Amino acid sequence: MNVQTQEILSSLRKELSGKNALFLAPIDSYIERLMYFYVSSILEEVPERPIVWLCLNSSRDKVISRFEDFGFNIDHPGRIFFIDIDSAGKEHCEDTLYCSSVADYTKMASHISNLFADRPNSILIVDNMNVLANDTMQVVENFIKFVEKKVSENQGSMLSMLFRNILPNETEVLIASFFDVVIEVTNVGEIHAKIGLKDLDFRFSVEDGCIEFEPAKKKIKRKRLKILIVDDEPDIPELLQLSLISEPYDFIVASNGEGAIELALRELPDLILLDIMMPDMDGYEVVEQLKKSKAACDIPVIMISAKTAIEDKVKGMELGIDDYISKPFDKREVKARIKMVMRRLGWIEEE
């Protein structure tokens, strides 16, 4: 496993700690392998977290076999426990509790409650939500709510997966609503999750059975962009808005540095057009403050200024701005530079 993959896995484990998460993906994706990979990383790297695996789709023996097929190590005695479906002549294992069927909700709920009471801080793996979705949704909802309550009371969390476009859309939406975080996986190797105000975007590849992760720029999916214009001269925001009136942009305006920071943190715009020379706080200071914020540090910034010296532009670049436009500006250049920056960040303008 390369360093980049380790760092992304560590970040994902940290962000999902204490949250109930759902892997949501097309059936022809690597969703199952990803979930097994993620669970094996917890067993390897987070020794204080036991795993409780609810076997709805595959038996205990099949789950262990899948880990082995994928090349993931789960040889961690006392760390992983199973709730499996019993059958005539089935050999019972010490690390496993049994139910009569996948619809034996009372027994499953009881086993989960007892396991989490004895092993707080565990992670419950519900191996496939599509299996549960074959039952009456009200029954499934009551079961999940009970399980969530017991897991939460014992400082645990829950992880599951759901295949897209198999269930009716309203059922898929309802099941996704049971979870704090939905991790969207595409069949072209992209993963996206929104956790609070933070977006996690990365790509994965599978070669020779091994999974590797790499960062990816988040894709901006909104039809219209929200742009914050910051300038102490009131004519400039008006001129910019007039120049961009035909574009799919909505505008908010700040007339000074403090107002810019306040608006940026509250509104989280897709882009900031920022003047440098302002009386209370110059544009450089605004950028420095925003870069300290986890919520706003990734907002792209284009500086628009009459300061055209190379050292001024270099100073902005060193702070992490994305582009620079000199005053007086041409509206064609402003349009082109905004689109260039936003496309670089994954925004595709819709027709």
Q: Does the pLDDT value for residue 346 go beyond 90?
A: no
User: CA 283 to CA 296: how far, in whole Å?
Assistant: 15
- Determine which of 170-174, 234-238, 261-265 has the lowest per-residue pLDDT on average: 170-174
Is the pLDDT reported for residue 219 higher than 60?
A: no
Strand order of the sheet with strand 210-215? 96-99, 80-85, 51-54, 123-126, 157-163, 21-25, 181-185, 190-195, 198-207, 210-215
Fold match between 3-215 and 225-344? yes
Confidence (pLDDT) at 220: 58
pLDDT of residue 226: 93
Sign of the Cα torsion 274, 279, 282, 288 reads negative
Which pLDDT does position 201 carry in this prediction? Answer: 82
For residue 115, the model assigns a pLDDT of: 96
Instruction: Look up the CATH superfamily of 3-215.
Output: P-loop containing nucleotide triphosphate hydrolases (3.40.50.300)
Average pLDDT in the chain: 89
**Phi and psi of 193, rounded to 5°?**
-145, 135
Share above pLDDT 90 across residues of the chain, in percent, rounded to a whole number: 57
* Radius of gyration from C-alpha coordinates of the chain: 25
Q: Ranked by mean pLDDT, which of 129-133, 270-274, 326-330 comes out on top?
A: 270-274
pLDDT digits (tens, 9 = 90+) for 274-301: 999 998 899 999 999 998 887 788 899 9
Q: So what's the pLDDT on residue 348?
A: 67
Percent of the chain with pLDDT over 70: 97
Task: Give tens-digit pLDDT for 185-208.
Answer: 887 788 888 887 677 888 888 887
- Domain extent listing, the chain: 3-215, 225-344
Binned at pLDDT 50, 70 and 90, residue 350 comes out as low
Task: Please tell us whether the domain made up of 225-344 is placed in CATH 3.40.50.2300.
Answer: yes
HSE-up of residue 283 (Cα within 13 Å, Cβ side): 26
Q: What is the pLDDT of residues 295-323, one digit of tens each?
A: 788 899 999 988 877 888 888 888 889 88
Per-residue pLDDT at 218: 54
- Give me the pLDDT at residue 222, please: 66
Residue 267's identity, in one-letter code, is E
Which pLDDT does position 162 carry in this prediction?
Answer: 93
pLDDT interval class at 351 (50, 70, 90) = low
